[in-house]
């Protein structure tokens, strides 16, 4: 028995402990792989080539790279840095930014948890294909793949009637879904997947850090094999030419390609789901967070760009061309197009087993990363610490498995599609937009008020928010040009009014902003919170040879990333009104994701109501001391360094005397 226990401890070791007693990854590679495992999933192998195919041509990479560097990477740096500095999951991290932002952290957890409850049933469909791949010939050979997927894999029943609109746009009738039974095989594979997911995380990062070498490393090897197979197929060159050998300048004039590129990079990276912050909380306190974020983000893009050669080889092999008007989606690529090509290949069962096993492993890393978000939330609380981790993880996994049975029914595909559509289009974009705003406007805002007063700060900040809402609204009722004009005009007017309402700060702004009273006021309301968050986090993560967060990070996130996210968020509402308002399942999906709105608002208005999910010794972190221009680390110690003064342009006589609270 002792020998068995030793073997089990070897296979599932306890996690290392950091100085503050928190579990910690054994090394940096484990964290990077776990974070990449959350990002690199089905979207890399299936969604990315689908989006590129629908917008075929090398010109797609222009908006794609802009989205990567101006939206995805700044937010990735934010989420990883917060987890590293504040040593907690999304709720604790955002509470530490400001006590009124803990609802934002809860909403991040909500996003990740909702996704994992339908993500696992999706993996169950993959496993149904996987089981059938051991037959020769493949059972779907010679069949219509769309019909096979609907009848044999998903096994959903068509609605008895489809809803419709009245001429005035109101709902005339609602779609009637009659199939409600739970599908045995789908539920069985879902429960199996939940068990495997639980095995990967129930012991903490000590075990997960070892599992990730297999669940992340093996799929990368298998992707290389699939690329070799895809690109060696007859006529594969025609598909690859669509991918990397075509240039269409006119495509850049269409908003479709820009929306598709920004949507893809955003969904692919995976910010807003909480696993980056959760995994980063198990790193060393002085980890090189900025470098890690760049490694993860760029590696994620490299993997999906390279892996797409496999799919485009299959596209060329099947003779499919986007000029025919056929569009692709994740489901079409993974469950219809690729299986059709597999059935026609020599050695079809081998390649089918390899393909679906690769998909399962890619999905598994994302699944246990998403499950970890909820587990970390509970383990961070005072009451969660009293329970063993395995018990918390088991409870969360069992409850999640029961919820996921909704998607294992005869209407499961529609339910998955509804929730997936609006958790991504509404909840995710709104939450991450709030992350940009909270990090660059709410952090240490009392310092701003101390210097310039509430009137100027609120006028500028609210004007900035209203300008985005107003501009987008007018763009829909008039034109994008008019909307942009009104939005910018309102912002400039509110900014000017806010600056006029500010009193002259006692501490002038740095560099040329400090040479003029009005410029100094403007700097305090426009740039101080984000600039101070940058400096405060660099105290922890910028030590030694670690990379510092650059000075331009916060302005990009506030004035570029945020407005872009607001625009993309606005696309979801016309879609619901025009196409889904008569479908009860889509009404459910659209409604449930809006829980993030009251959560964020209520926690901002009454933050003390949510203190029960914050460790008692860290509640004070939500209220930063009023010490303008002083750096504060997460132990509430005020620090000052000459190197920081030189880097950020502060003069010694501008600072309040350094002291320890």
DSSP states of 97-152 as a string? H-GGGHHHHHHHHHHHHHHHHHHHHHHHHHHHHHHHTTSSS-TTTTS-HHHHIIII
The mean per-residue pLDDT over the stretch 214-218 comes to: 88
The residue with tokens 């300008």 is: 467
Look at residue 320 in the predicted model and tell me its pLDDT: 85
In a domain, 86, yes or no: yes
In a domain, 455, yes or no: no
Sign of CA dihedral 433, 438, 439, 445: positive
CA 352 to CA 361: how far, in whole Å?
14
Q: Where are the beta strands (DSSP E) in 369-486?
A: none
Residue 19 exposure: Cα atoms within 13 Å on the Cβ side:
3
Sign of CA dihedral 469, 500, 560, 82: negative
The mean per-residue pLDDT over the stretch 4-8 comes to: 58
Look at residue 197 in the predicted model and tell me its pLDDT: 95
Decide the pairing of beta strands 23-24 and 164-165.
unpaired
The mean per-residue pLDDT over the stretch 564-586 comes to: 84
Are 459 and 553 in contact by the 8 Å Cβ rule? The answer is no
Look at residue 41 in the predicted model and tell me its pLDDT: 83
What's the token pair of residue 333?
């690529």
What's the token pair of residue 97?
């930014």
CA 232 to CA 244: how far, in whole Å?
16
DSSP classification of residue 161: B
Cis amide leading into 137 (omega within 30): yes
Domain that holds residue 260: 24-156+179-442
Task: Convert the pLDDT of each residue in 328-350 to its tens digit.
Answer: 777 788 888 888 888 888 888 99
Residue 218 exposure: Cα atoms within 13 Å on the Cβ side:
17
Look at residue 637 in the predicted model and tell me its pLDDT: 45
Say if residue 266's pLDDT is above 60.
Answer: yes
In a domain, 619, yes or no: no
CA 490 to CA 402: how far, in whole Å?
49
The mean per-residue pLDDT over the stretch 312-319 comes to: 88
Look at residue 91 in the predicted model and tell me its pLDDT: 95
Look at residue 658 in the predicted model and tell me its pLDDT: 32
Number of domains in the chain: 1
Burial track 159-175 (b if 16+ CB lie within 10 A, e otherwise): beeebeeeeeeeeeebb
- The helix/strand/coil state of 182 is strand
Contacts of 425 (CB under 8 A, 6+ apart): 569, 571, 572, 575
What predicted TM-score, i.e. pTM, was given to this entire model? 0.91
In a domain, 541, yes or no: no
Q: Is 654 exposed, middle or buried (0-12, 13-18, 19+ CB in 10 A)?
A: middle
Sign of CA dihedral 313, 314, 317, 323: negative
The residue with tokens 């302005």 is: 555
pLDDT band at 479 (very low <50, low <70, confident <90, very high): confident
Look at residue 205 in the predicted model and tell me its pLDDT: 86
Q: Hey, how many other C-beta atoms are within 10 angstroms of the C-beta on 379?
A: 22
Q: Provide the phi-psi class of 126: left if phi over 0, else alpha when psi is between -120 and 50, else beta.
A: alpha
Q: Give the highest mean pLDDT range of 37-41, 112-116, 418-422.
A: 112-116
The residue with tokens 């209220």 is: 623
The mean per-residue pLDDT over the stretch 278-304 comes to: 92
What average pLDDT is seen over the chain?
87
Say if residue 545's pLDDT is above 70.
Answer: yes
What's the token pair of residue 16?
């290392």
Say if residue 478's pLDDT is above 50.
Answer: yes
Look at residue 13 in the predicted model and tell me its pLDDT: 67
The mean per-residue pLDDT over the stretch 468-495 comes to: 92
- The helix/strand/coil state of 171 is strand
CA 305 to CA 301: how far, in whole Å?
6
pLDDT band at 246 (very low <50, low <70, confident <90, very high): confident
In a domain, 345, yes or no: yes
In a domain, 52, yes or no: yes
CA 653 to CA 642: how far, in whole Å?
12
Say if residue 649's pLDDT is above 70.
Answer: no
Contacts of 302 (CB under 8 A, 6+ apart): none
Look at residue 643 in the predicted model and tell me its pLDDT: 35
CATH number at residue 216: 1.10.4160
Say if residue 527's pLDDT is above 60.
Answer: yes
Q: Hey, how many other C-beta atoms are within 10 angstroms of the C-beta on 388?
A: 11
| Helix residue spans in 509-641 (DSSP H) | 517-526, 528-541, 553-556, 562-570, 572-575, 584-592, 596-605
Say if residue 386's pLDDT is above 70.
Answer: yes
Say if residue 114's pLDDT is above 50.
Answer: yes
Sign of CA dihedral 455, 460, 465, 471: positive
Percent pLDDT > 90 in the chain is 53
Q: Hey, how many other C-beta atoms are within 10 angstroms of the C-beta on 566?
A: 21
In a domain, 489, yes or no: no
Residue 393 or residue 165, greater confidence: 393
CA 204 to CA 18: how far, in whole Å?
14
Are 47 and 327 in contact by the 8 Å Cβ rule? The answer is no
Say if residue 404's pLDDT is above 50.
Answer: yes
Sign of CA dihedral 500, 504, 509, 513: positive
CA 131 to CA 118: how far, in whole Å?
20
Residue 530 or residue 262, greater confidence: 530
Sign of CA dihedral 650, 652, 654, 660: positive
CA 276 to CA 285: how far, in whole Å?
15
CA 451 to CA 490: how far, in whole Å?
25
What are phi and psi for residue 47, nearest 5 degrees?
-70, -45
In a domain, 237, yes or no: yes
What's the token pair of residue 553?
């990070």
Cα 559 to Cα 72, 537, 552, 553, distances in angstroms: 14, 20, 11, 10
Say if residue 304's pLDDT is above 70.
Answer: yes
* Stretch among 26-40, 118-132, 441-455 having the lowest mean pLDDT: 26-40
* Stretch among 190-204, 248-262, 441-455, 463-477 having the lowest mean pLDDT: 248-262
Decide the pairing of beta strands 171-173 and 631-632.
unpaired
Contacts of 163 (CB under 8 A, 6+ apart): 171, 172, 173, 174, 175, 582, 583
Sign of CA dihedral 31, 35, 36, 42: positive
């Amino acid at each position: 028995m002792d020998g068995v226990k030793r073997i089990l401890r070897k296979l599932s070791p306890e996690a290392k402990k950091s100085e503050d007693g928190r579990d910690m990854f054994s090394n940096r590679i484990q964290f990077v792989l776990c974070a990449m495992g959350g990002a690199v999933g089905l979207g890399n192998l299936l969604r990315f080539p689908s989006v590129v195919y629908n917008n075929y041509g090398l010109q797609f990479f222009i908006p794609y790279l802009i989205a990567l560097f101006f939206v995805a990477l700044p937010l990735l740096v934010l989420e990883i840095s917060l987890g590293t500095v504040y040593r907690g999951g999304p709720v604790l991290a955002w509470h530490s930014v400001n006590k009124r932002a803990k609802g934002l952290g809860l909403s991040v957890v909500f996003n990740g948890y909702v996704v994992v409850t339908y993500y696992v049933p999706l993996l169950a469909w993959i496993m149904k294909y996987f089981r059938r791949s051991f037959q020769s010939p493949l059972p779907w050979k010679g069949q219509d793949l769309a019909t096979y997927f609907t009848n044999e894999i998903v096994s959903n029943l068509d609605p008895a009637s489809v809803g419709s609109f009245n001429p005035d746009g109101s709902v005339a009738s609602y779609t009637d879904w009659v199939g409600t039974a739970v599908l045995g095989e789908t539920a069985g594979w879902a429960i199996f997947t939940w068990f495997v997911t639980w095995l990967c995380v129930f012991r903490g990062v000590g075990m997960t850090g070892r599992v990730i070498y297999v669940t992340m490393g093996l799929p990368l090897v298998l992707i290389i094999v699939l690329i070799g197979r895809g690109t060696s197929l007859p006529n594969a060159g025609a598909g690859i030419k669509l991918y990397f050998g075509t240039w269409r300048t006119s495509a850049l004039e269409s908003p479709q390609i820009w929306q598709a590129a920004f949507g893809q990079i955003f969904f692919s990276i995976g910010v807003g789901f909480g696993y980056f912050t959760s995994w980063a909380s198990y790193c060393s306190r002085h980890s090189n967070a900025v470098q890690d974020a760049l490694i993860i983000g760029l590696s994620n893009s490299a993997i999906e760009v390279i892996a797409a050669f496999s799919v485009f080889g299959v596209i060329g092999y099947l003779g499919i061309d986007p000029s025919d008007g056929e569009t692709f989606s994740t489901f079409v690529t993974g469950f219809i197009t690729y299986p059709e090509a597999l059935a026609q290949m020599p050695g079809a069962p081998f390649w089918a087993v390899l393909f679906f096993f690769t998909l399962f492993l890619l999905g598994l890393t994302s699944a246990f990363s998403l499950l970890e978000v909820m587990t970390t939330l509970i383990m961070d609380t005072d009451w969660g610490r009293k329970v063993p981790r395995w018990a918390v993880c088991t409870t969360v996994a069992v409850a999640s498995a029961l919820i996921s049975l909704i998607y294992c029914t005869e209407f499961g595909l529609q339910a998955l599609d509804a929730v997936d559509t609006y958790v991504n289009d509404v909840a995710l974009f709104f939450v991450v937009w709030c992350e940009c705003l909270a990090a660059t406007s709410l952090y240490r805002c009392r310092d701003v008020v101390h210097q310039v007063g509430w009137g100027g700060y609120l006028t500028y900040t609210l004007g900035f928010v209203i300008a985005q809402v107003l501009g987008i609204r007018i763009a829909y009722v008039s034109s994008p040009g008019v909307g942009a004009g009104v939005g910018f005009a309102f912002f400039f007017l509110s900014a000017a009014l806010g600056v006029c309402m500010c009193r002259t700060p006692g501490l002038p702004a740095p560099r040329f902003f400090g040479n003029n009273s009005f410029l100094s006021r403007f700097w305090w309301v426009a740039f101080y919170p984000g600039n101070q968050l940058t400096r405060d986090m660099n105290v922890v993560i910028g030590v030694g040879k670690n990379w510092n967060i650059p000075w331009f990070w916060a302005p990009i996130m506030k004035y570029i990333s945020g407005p872009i996210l607001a625009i993309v968020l606005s696309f979801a509402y016309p879609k619901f009104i025009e196409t889904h308002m008569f479908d009860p399942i889509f009404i459910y999906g659209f409604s449930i994701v809006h829980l993030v709105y009251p959560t964020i608002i209520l926690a901002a208005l009454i933050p003390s109501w949510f203190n029960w999910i914050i460790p008692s010794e860290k509640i004070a972190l939500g209220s930063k001391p009023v010490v303008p221009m002083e750096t504060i680390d997460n132990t509430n110690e005020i620090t000052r360094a000459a190197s920081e003064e030189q880097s950020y342009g502060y003069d010694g006589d501008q600072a309040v005397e350094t002291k320890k609270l």
